Amino acid sequence: MKILQNFINGVWRDPQGTSLLEVVNPATEEVVAQFGCGSSDDVDRAVDAAGDAQAAWAARPVAERVEHLSRWAAAIAEHAEELAELECQEMGKPVGLGRTFIDTAVRGFTTAAEEALQYPFVEDIPGPGGSNTTIVRNPVGVAAVITPWNFPVPMVLAALGPILAAGNTVVVKPSERSPMSIARLFELSTLPAGVVNLVLGDSRAGAPLTEHNRIRLVHFTGSVEAGRRIGSETGGRLCRSILELGGKDPVVVDAGVDPVATAGAVAFGAFANTGQICTSMERIYVHHEVAEAFVEALAAAASTFALGDGHDAGTVLGPLVDERQRTIVHRHVTDAVAGGAHIRCGGEIPEGKGFFYPATVLTDVDDSMLVMTEETFGPLAPVVVVSSFEEGIERAGGSRFALGATVYTNDPAHAAAAAAIPAGVTWINQWQGGGPERLYEPAGESGMGATGARAAYDAATRPATIHTARPAALPVS
């Protein structure tokens, strides 16, 4: 069993807090790590270390900061398999899947950091009569990055690239359910002391961090409930926050598509990472003309998602992160069945150790059921048959969440109509993907703050304007 520590000012330290937390392997239910929950003293130390290191980090030339980050990225890439193994132990993700996402995240981190080389940190705009306006985009200072457990390493890397490359320093507070991979990530850091700091713990470590006066940006990824609390706290002290919260993403399947191929794609969208993705497909609206064939193919595809320990090569579907998460998932199934839904496959808790839950397809679902209104974060595919594509689009937009959406159609007019779904990202005829130019802001309860592309740099910097009139315009004394 591992004992984990905080990383403050380049040194590994035991936390001051006395409350002990455990990491449980969700496939075996064994305790695999222990650590003390960070206290407000630990947070103070980490924020002070970041604050003290910030001016020197920001004073380095941009290219030097990017070079530092590229070196860290190279070390992470070299250890991607080991990090994926640790993610598997702490939250159950199959190692192969974790590896794929970590590789992608490292490339994204590097691309995002290199964007700094193009970003207009200082911009001169000549004005009339020889005047000049200079816009300087300064780092905001010290940032807090708070992350969930569903993609431990990718979530941290996605937040850190632009924040660090822009000249900020950081305190990271990862999920208490997945701290092992993040501790290893920090061991691989070759950044100057104090630039990145790590405090482990649950909300008792997270809250003092978001409340700390020296924190000028909070980048939070997690639940709506915690996001609301953090948003109101940071708002109260006029601190900027980016809130990336939950989702209940719809998928609309049009008439005329290949039902079998589309069902295969939807199965992946609903079940990948055991459904624990903020943009998992959680509401499926299918045109009645293809519904029967689609549901049959979806159930067949679900049966190929072999349950097991993520360390086994044959495993496609790892366990849920913990018993609490499995209870939520099963409650959504039993509520739907009580309301008249039918289970086409899955829907039962397997016997034995581990927090496993099978890929489950539900039909005869309606929009009032928990499985259609609350985020499930589990391997459920609830299907609603609609009488027209337009009805599908309208019902897809009827959620209080607005994170992502997916539409499968062969009709160009219908593809264009997909833009009516309120979502940060809408995918047409694929799920996930898109280049680094992706730019979006979630809506509704899915959060706030634009991210992606240059917006991440805009969020990590504060613009100031210096306007200079030409000397002759000065009054003569």
| Interacting residue ranges for ligand NAD, rule: CB under 6 A | 146-150, 173-176, 202-203, 206-207, 210, 221-223, 226, 229-230, 244-247, 278, 375, 377, 403, 447
Nearer to ligand NAD, 5 or 223 (CB): 223
User: What pairing do the DSSP bridges indicate for beta strands 240-244 and 11-13?
Assistant: unpaired
CA-based torsion, 62, 63, 68, 73: positive or negative = positive
Edge-to-edge order in the sheet of strand 132-139: 122-126, 132-139, 461-468
- Output DSSP code: residue 317: B
Classify 289 as helix, strand or coil.
helix
Active-site residue, selected from the candidate residues 244, 282, 375, 445 = 244
Closest CA to 254 of 29, 411, 76, 89: 411
Cβ contact 243:446 at 8 Å: no
Shortest Cβ distance from residue 326 to ligand NAD (Å)?
Answer: 13
> Closest CB to ligand NAD among 85 and 176?
176
- For residue 407, what are its two tokens? 């539409």
Q: Least distance from C-beta 226 to ligand NAD, angstroms?
A: 3
Instruction: Find out whether 191 and 72 touch, Cβ atoms under 8 Å.
Output: yes
Q: What number of H helices and E strands is found in the chain?
A: 15, 23
H or E stretch at 177:
none
Catalytic residue among 87, 278, 345, 375: 278
What does the alpha-carbon distance between residue 206 and residue 37 come to, in Å, rounded to a whole number?
A: 10
Burial of 129 from C-beta contacts in 10 A (0-12 / 13-18 / 19+):
exposed
Name the residue among 221, 294, 229 with its Cα closest to residue 255: 294
Q: Is residue 377 within 8 Å of residue 280, measured between CB atoms?
A: yes
The reply to whether 244 belongs to the active site is yes
**Separation of alpha carbons 415 and 221, rounded Å:** 30
State the Cα–Cα distance between residues 461 and 216, nearest whole angstrom: 10
Tokens of 357: 């839950």
> Residues, the chain, total?
477
- Phi, psi angles (nearest 5°) of residue 283: -140, 120
- Structure tokens belonging to residue 383: 């299907």
- Residue of minimal CB distance from ligand NAD? 206
* Coil, helix or strand at residue 170: strand
Of the two residues 48 and 244, which places its CB atom closer to ligand NAD in the complex? 244
DSSP 423-475: -SEEEESSSS---TT--B--EETTEES-BSTTHHHHHHEEEEEEEE--GGGSP
User: Catalytic residue numbers?
Assistant: 244, 278
